[in-house]
């Protein structure tokens, strides 16, 4: 069995490496501001950038030693919803101020890991108010969530977004659900993955980000 923290950090490291490549190659300044400028100038170019990042992740999964894909020869790429800018949302954060900031998050192998309740991200999707608990582990903010697509088009155990804490500016965070990804345990059951808090279930269908193989080949 793999160590929880090692798996979690290797997943984040892979995603950050992919994102960093495109920042260095294409933009200056912070990722969010560069993306904002790109969307304002050419939304289709932003969508193309998302697709390029996905292709880079496919290549990582096919070649990296820490890839969760067992049969790399047969791997043909992950599946996603088409990029949709309506699921790129600026959320206001209500900091968590109570004393019980420490929370134990369960993993799929029945182990657990301690996180800190950082605050609640408040936003709307399709005119409906939503709220997600942001979890902090060292310098990473994790968004573990389920939505109406969970168990249908997307993984039933939920999907993730991860951000360096530096992405939080003036108690706001940009949640780009086009980058929502499946945990490694989707590809190999020997991996242990954190389970989203019970309160992190959105009441709307987030038709953005990664799909499951089964939903595509029904």
Positive or negative, the CA dihedral 50, 52, 58, 60 is negative
Torsion of CA 114, 116, 119, 121, to 10 degrees: -40
Q: Where are the domains of the chain?
A: 4-216
User: If we measure between CA atoms, which residue out of 137, 53, 39 comes closest to residue 90?
Assistant: 39
Annotate 84-109 with DSSP letters as a single string: -GGGEEEEEEEE--SS--EEEEEBTT
Maximum CA extent, the chain: 50
Separation between Cα atoms, residue 129 and residue 144, nearest integer Å: 18
Full pLDDT tens readout for the chain, 218 residues: 234 444 555 455 555 554 444 443 333 334 455 677 667 668 898 999 999 999 999 999 999 998 999 999 999 999 999 999 999 999 999 999 999 999 999 999 999 999 999 999 999 999 999 999 999 999 999 999 999 999 999 999 999 999 999 999 999 999 999 999 999 999 998 899 999 999 999 999 999 999 999 898 76
Buried b (16+ CB within 10 A) or exposed e, 54-88: bebbeebbeeeeebbbeeeeeeeebbbbebeeebb
pTM comes to 0.84
pLDDT value of residue 82: 97
The tally of CA atoms less than 13 A away on the side-chain side of residue 202 is: 30
């Amino acid at each position: 069995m793999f160590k929880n923290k090692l798996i979690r950090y290797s997943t984040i490291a892979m995603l950050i490496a992919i994102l960093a490549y495109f920042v260095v190659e294409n933009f200056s300044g912070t990722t969010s501001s560069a993306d904002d400028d790109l969307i304002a100038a050419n939304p289709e170019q932003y969508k193309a950038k998302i697709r390029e990042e996905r292709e880079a992740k496919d290549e990582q999964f096919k070649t990296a030693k820490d890839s969760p894909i067992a049969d790399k020869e047969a791997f043909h790429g992950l599946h996603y919803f088409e990029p949709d800018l309506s699921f790129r949302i600026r959320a206001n954060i209500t900091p968590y101020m109570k004393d019980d900031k420490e929370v134990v998050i369960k993993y799929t192998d029945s182990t657990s890991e301690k996180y800190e309740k950082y605050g609640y991200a408040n936003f709307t999707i399709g005119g409906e108010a939503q709220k997600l608990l942001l979890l902090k582990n060292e310098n990473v903010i994790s968004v573990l969530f389920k939505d109406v697509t969970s168990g249908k088009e997307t993984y039933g155990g939920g999907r993730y977004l991860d951000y360096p804490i530096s992405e939080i500016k003036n108690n706001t965070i940009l949640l780009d659900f086009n980058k929502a990804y499946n945990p490694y345990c989707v590809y190999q059951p020997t991996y242990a993955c954190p389970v989203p808090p019970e309160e992190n279930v959105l009441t709307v269908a987030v038709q953005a980000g990664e799909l499951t193989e089964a939903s595509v080949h029904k």
